[in-house]
Amino acid sequence: MNTMSRRGAPMNKGRRTGFGSIETYTRLAPNVDKGWVEQFVLEQRLIGVSGKRIGDSLALVESHVAESGESAQAAFGDPQAYAKEDAPAQSERSSGRIDRGWGFGIVLGLAGMLLTTFSAQAGFAGESALQVTIGHLVVLAIVAAAVALLVLKTHALMRVLAQLPIRSWIGWMVLLAAMVGALFFLPHPIGEIGVLAASVIGVVLLTVGLLVQLRAYLGGRVEEDEIVGPGEQPGRSRAGLVAVLIFPAATIAMIGFSWLLQQIPDLI
């Protein structure tokens, strides 16, 4: 069945729901096998197809399946293969990169979180200065490399996570172990900074990172590419706003956990 001829088929409309959720698939393609739809959507997302284009394609598949009685597998074939066939030209796809301002805010937030947490840990231990070690620099390098990969190779990273979930999980665990190991096995000091000064710098970095990310969010540069049906308009999601608050919230949680660990010896 020719792809272009199916493009003109009538589309179903309905109430819009959340981004990429199973409710969206069910609403846009209620007569299509959910497993087929999920694989199709995942592949198009990994390719970089926009949410609006995916919604149009789902409505098209639904229209054909509902009218013909054929299954999506029989009419369109393998969902991943069809997703590639249905995808627009490379020039019409998403760049697959995170907004630069958003990425810069992530870097500042991470740096602020680490510095604030390390300085708080030193303060809880009764130290007046934070010893900067080789391990700290290794952790910073690992984090910087991870952020660069996330910003520059977003879709490639998504593909690895989706297709190799177990290996990806193992990879993240190895990465975490490497950071923890660097702190424990590379304690050689290369300098020091006062706990108060380190805390102030960390809070400033956190604040600036939050403001930079908030500006990118309010400027519409990090909107979720929601899957919507023909004629629908995407809503403004709060997920980006939640992401803006992740580093401050994580910093508070890590400092609280560090304080709790410091109190355990006194409680025993």
pLDDT at 207: 94
Contact between 97 and 158 under an 8 Å Cβ cutoff? The reply is no
Contact between 49 and 84 under an 8 Å Cβ cutoff? The reply is no
Domain check: are 113 and 213 in the same one? yes
Domain check: are 130 and 203 in the same one? yes
187 belongs to a structural domain: yes
Domain check: are 61 and 179 in the same one? no
Contact between 227 and 38 under an 8 Å Cβ cutoff? The reply is no
∠ CA 148-169-90 to the nearest 5 degrees? 50
pLDDT at 211: 92
2 belongs to a structural domain: no
Domain check: are 136 and 243 in the same one? yes
The number of beta carbons lying within 10 Å of the beta carbon of residue 26 is 15
Q: Determine the number of helices (DSSP H) and then strands (DSSP E) in the chain.
A: 13, 2
Whether the CA torsion 61, 64, 69, 71 is positive or negative: it is negative
The number of beta carbons lying within 10 Å of the beta carbon of residue 88 is 13
pLDDT at 198: 92
137 belongs to a structural domain: yes
pLDDT at 46: 77
How many domains are contained in the chain? 2
∠ CA 44-49-55 to the nearest 5 degrees? 80
- pTM of the predicted structure, to 2 decimals: 0.60
Give the residues of the chain that fall short of pLDDT 70: 1-25, 89-99, 151-165, 168, 220-225, 228-240, 265-268
12 belongs to a structural domain: no
Per the structure, the complete domain to which residue 212 belongs is given by: 100-267
9 belongs to a structural domain: no
Q: Which residue among 92, 112, 128 closes a domain?
A: 92
Segment 129-185, tens digit of pLDDT:
888 889 888 888 887 787 777 766 666 666 666 666 677 678 778 888 888 888 889
CA distance 64 to 45: 22
Contact between 255 and 117 under an 8 Å Cβ cutoff? The reply is yes
